[in-house]
Structure 1
Amino acid sequence: MTERVIKPVGRGFLFLDSHPAGCERLVAELAEQVEVRSPERTPVALVVGASSGYGLAATIAGLARYGVDGVGVSFEKAPTARRTATAGWYRTAATAELADKLGRSFRFVNADAFADTTKSDVLDLVEAEYGGVDYLIYSVAAPRRVDPRTDTTYQSALRSIGAPHRTKSIAFEGTEPVLQEVEIEAATDDEIAQTVQVMGGEDWIRWVDALADRKLLRDDFTTVALTYIGSELTGPIYRQGSIGAAKAHLEQTAHELSQRDGVRALTSVNGAAVTQASSAIPGIGLYVSLLHKVLGDRMQSPMQQSIALWDQLTGETTPDLDEDGRLRLDRWELDPAVQDAVREQWEAVTQENIATVADAAWFFAEVRRLYGFDVAGVDYEAPAEVDVDWPAKA
């Protein structure tokens, strides 16, 4: 037993430790949002990037709503003598307990999703346990990728394209919001190419290829990669930036995969949310804070969107496709009236009024919840067990 009192210590939006009880309670909260369906058969899902953000929400929604079996893949750090495990480690342990409680057969693998050895090990597990896959959900957010076939390391770059870009951004001094001006450098051609290698569709194709080579694609196999478009306010640093080039490649990959026999490939355009990946992007935190101020409870959570995703993938509801064949789960965000209201707040925000014009307190709390803090019902003064095992059935 390794119990200790855990406090949120870190820098910016990055915390050194995570709270296991808070992460466990957060998973329970997500599951409580899901209304259970009774499918005629048990689908098998492979979720790559299952421990955080939309990948976590998609895993829990699939388990709790449609009773999926399958495998979740993520790359998390175990607890050490000095530090707790990563939040994703604790969330995965809690999700495994949820799967057991629901009577589902769902396994979790902790390994580098980009590695060929990981693909081989995961597909060995899929073949032995399930015999095939109905759904592959690809939700990987990583700063770098090592191509196992060339041993080349690619590093993603957070850059604009064409010219430098200045944007408003939110930071915190203690709990107090601070409005900043951040300048983003223009990307070189090499930085754009490397970002596409990390965040584009090449690894997604390799997962589908690996499944096909092992003859593990079931009839009506569907794969979906999660993407984002976002507002014109964040466009220069996101959709029109180096990350956007990678997202465009991901979407082109969906078209290429869909040309194959027996493969239905889609990208799902999700709406804005507070995630560990998005909170690190300049401007996104301020934008999401303003968006929540405008929408309040009408802002759709990752879980609400993941429920809608599964409903559309399974045919429970009609897929909402745009002219490019993308599933659109973000129409609530990009509604012109919503964007007009957010733009008005964006232009009006100053250091003097940021605490009221933006929903800064909500954003701060949401970032802390990513690490298991500020979760209702958790006693943060009590010692917590940090030495939590990875799910034994992995």
Structure 2
Amino acid sequence: MALDIQPKMRGNVLMGINPMGLKQEIQNQINYVKSQGTYEAPKRVLILGASSSYGLATRITLAFGGGADTIGVSYENGPRTERNLGTPGWYNNIFFKEAAEAEGLVAKNFVGDAFSDEMKANVIEYIQEEFGGKVDLVVYSLATGRRTDPETGETYRSSIKAIGQTVEGPDINLEKEEFYAGHLEAASEEEIEATVKVMGGEDWYIWMQALHEAGVLAEGAKTFCYSYLGDNLNRSYYQDGTLGRAKADCDAKAEMIADILADINGEARVIVATAVTTKASAVIPFFPVYCLGLYKVMEEEGTHETPIMHQDRIYRTMVYGDAPEYDEVGRLRPDSWELRPETQAKAEELIRQIDAENFNTDFTAWDTFMHEFLNLNGFDVDHYEHEEVTLEDLQALEP
């Protein structure tokens, strides 16, 4: 029986999945990269957190713009019942692999706990035995709310909170299309520490140490970790909050990793990316309202980007191009478009005027945000033509 697939929301979490819509969305992103032409890029790439958002976009641009063979690591679930079709990333992995292999590229998917020693060992073994022995680039793009430390067995859970203050501001319930006054509590020291353990750079460091010790990093190998900082408009709940503390830990770990890679002339760097629509950006307190104002301004300026547009620009023009932008501590800063003073000033003026009467009108970028949000699960996808599928069809897909 054909599945009746509809988008469903619970608060700011999108629950329903349209697998064939996700297939078209993958193709749309591939088509975008191809429309920009090819560029020189590394040919053997490992992406940790490869199944959605920045990680998926990175994999697509390097494969279809740079001709890279890729290994993707992610934690996803496949279809079980008609009410549980799995996670979007499960299908993203499958449809990326199909498209890449159709063009003669290697696209190996590892599905499981990237934080575990077992996953690290399995990936290293695959590189040694089936992936040419070494990788040229390692991208760290893991995003999750919990992490089990493989050394201690303790599980940590992150908290999105302020530090040393409570924060109030406008927020949105996407399910109810309700604009309301949000409230963010101050984090305890334990919550700060746990957030750093989950979302900081510790696991990135462990991965790079393991890869280096195994001898699977090529001479001159690069590694990048994605971060976000924002500016004064979201500083109180982001850069100055638990998320910001975790991102600062990534900066510290980048220096430690650079020391490890010195003997192979390697490079370790944080990339501070721009604000885009992801599952995380929808649930970070106050952040959807920031996006509604920022996107509106950047669309008018011609600088608004989706993850694939942003990542393609990063690798095509910055990392492997001739127009990198670094800050005073050596981070790559493709978020410079978002942080232009005139852009932030216009966004601030607009955000101050957003209220319950206009937040979901063309006064803001509501339509853009919701279109991109629905795309994450395969809905409202450009060029998608309805395709009936059964549970058996989905279960027969090869991960």
TM-score for both structures, normalised by structure 1: 0.94
Deviation at 1:36, TM superposition (A): 3.6
Q: Aligned partners of 2:383 and 2:362: how far apart in 1? A: 27
Q: Match of 1:341? A: 346
Aligned counterpart for 1:289 among listed residues 282, 292, 305: 292
Q: Aligned partners of 2:313 and 2:20: how far apart in 1? A: 28
1:172-183 aligned at under 5 Å gives the runs 172-173=174-175, 177-183=177-183
Asked if 1:28 corresponds to 2:27, the answer is yes
The one-letter amino acid paired with 1:178 is E
Q: Match of 2:210? A: 210
Q: Aligned partners of 2:228 and 2:105: how far apart in 1? A: 30
1:16-165 aligned at under 5 Å gives the runs 16-34=15-33, 35-37=36-38, 39=40, 43-81=43-81, 82-130=83-131, 131-165=133-167
1:254-293 aligned at under 5 Å gives the runs 254-260=254-260, 261=262, 262=264, 263-293=266-296
Q: Mean Cα displacement is larger for which, 12-21 or 332-341? A: 12-21
Q: What do residues 42-101 of structure 1 show as CA deviations (whole Å, max 9, x unaligned)?
A: 621000000011001000001011111130001111101131121111111111012112
Q: Mean Cα displacement is larger for which, 358-367 or 23-32? A: 358-367
Deviation at 1:186, TM superposition (A): 0.2
Is 2:10–2:175's contact at 8 Å kept on the other side of the alignment? no
Deviation at 1:198, TM superposition (A): 0.2
Deviation at 1:112, TM superposition (A): 0.8
Is 2:46–2:70's contact at 8 Å kept on the other side of the alignment? yes
Asked if 1:12 corresponds to 2:17, the answer is no
Is 1:156–1:195's contact at 8 Å kept on the other side of the alignment? yes
**What is the aligned length?**
388
Q: Relative to structure 1, is the Cα distance of residues 217 and 253 closer, same or farther in structure 2, using a 3 angstrom cutoff? A: same
Aligned-residue sequence identity (percent) comes to 32
1:164-313 aligned at under 5 Å gives the runs 164-173=166-175, 177-260=177-260, 261=262, 262=264, 263-296=266-299, 297-311=302-316
Q: Relative to structure 1, is the Cα distance of residues 310 and 391 closer, same or farther in structure 2, using a 3 angstrom cutoff? A: farther
Q: Match of 2:334? A: 329
Q: Match of 1:351? A: 356
TM-score for both structures, normalised by structure 2: 0.93
Structure 2 unmatched ranges of 5 or more: none
Deviation at 1:391, TM superposition (A): 7.2
Deviation at 1:147, TM superposition (A): 0.7
Q: Mean Cα displacement is larger for which, 27-36 or 201-210? A: 27-36
The one-letter amino acid paired with 2:281 is S
Q: Aligned partners of 1:385 and 1:376: how far apart in 2? A: 22
SS across alignment from 2:235: coil
